[in-house]
């Protein structure tokens, strides 16, 4: 005869690996083909009074998250010493959550930031060129005009020299992270005969 025990504090945790043709994961560098899924459910404790055997069964699904292998490794390796790790919520209260769009990958965020910086820089270059042409057409260029021109040029140079190293460092970080994720995502060679 079986007896089932329930309590609001009874929970069930399941961690599994999954493969997919293409997963878009929040905070990952790009698409992920091998993932780690963590499921948390309410649970019941079932006891067989004849044999004394106890089993724990998941009941109501609470939350499911999916991580890239690198995100999972970061989460485990940085216990108590980081702000946490990005993950993708795939189910909540038994309901499937749609995958995030492509703009949430690190690569896409850096690409969008770079594109915006280049558009802003192009606009500032256009303004600088327009001002230079206006000064060229002016019959008398005074000291104030020359100082304004130098100030505009210095501002443009400062923007380029400040923005470029930051964009390069962000790009390098994303490329290195993508390479690491690709290495982690590739299946290990089998040693079969």
Q: Under 8 Å CB-to-CB from 127, ≥6 apart: which residues?
A: 152
Q: Under 8 Å CB-to-CB from 141, ≥6 apart: which residues?
A: 135
Distance CA 37, CA 14 (A): 8
- Name which of 110, 116, 118, 91 is nearest 30 in CA terms: 110
Q: Under 8 Å CB-to-CB from 13, ≥6 apart: which residues?
A: 38, 39, 40
Distance CA 148, CA 164 (A): 24
DSSP code for 94: T
pLDDT at residue 193 in the model:
47
pLDDT at residue 36 in the model:
92
Distance CA 9, CA 42 (A): 8
* Verdict on whether the full-model pTM lies above 0.85: no
Predicted confidence pLDDT, tens digits, the chain (193 residues): 588 889 999 999 999 998 876 678 888 777 778 889 999 999 999 988 788 788 888 999 999 999 988 888 888 888 888 788 888 999 999 899 988 776 666 667 777 777 888 888 888 888 888 888 887 788 888 888 888 888 888 888 887 888 778 777 877 777 777 777 666 665 555 555 4
User: What are the phi and psi torsion angles at 144 (to 5°)?
Assistant: -60, -40
In the block, which residue shows the tokens 């005869």? 1
């Amino acid at each position: 005869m079986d007896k089932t025990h329930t309590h609001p504090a009874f929970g069930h945790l399941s961690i599994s690996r999954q493969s997919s043709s293409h997963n878009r994961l929040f905070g990952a560098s790009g698409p992920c083909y091998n993932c780690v899924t963590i499921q948390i459910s309410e649970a019941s404790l079932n006891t067989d009074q004849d044999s004394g055997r106890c089993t724990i069964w998941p009941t109501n699904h609470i939350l499911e998250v999916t991580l890239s292998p690198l995100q999972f490794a970061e989460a485990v390796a940085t216990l108590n010493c980081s702000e946490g790790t990005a993950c993708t919520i795939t189910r909540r209260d038994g309901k499937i959550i749609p995958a995030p769009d492509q703009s949430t990958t690190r690569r896409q965020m850096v690409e969008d930031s770079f594109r915006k910086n280049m558009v802003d820089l192009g606009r500032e270059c256009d303004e600088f060129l327009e001002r230079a042409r206006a000064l060229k057409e002016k019959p008398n260029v005074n000291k104030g005009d020359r100082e304004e021109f130098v100030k505009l040029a210095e501002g443009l140079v400062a923007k380029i020299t400040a923005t470029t190293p930051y964009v390069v460092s962000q790009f390098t970080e994303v490329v290195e992270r993508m390479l690491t994720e690709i290495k982690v995502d590739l299946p290990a060679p089998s040693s079969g005969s």
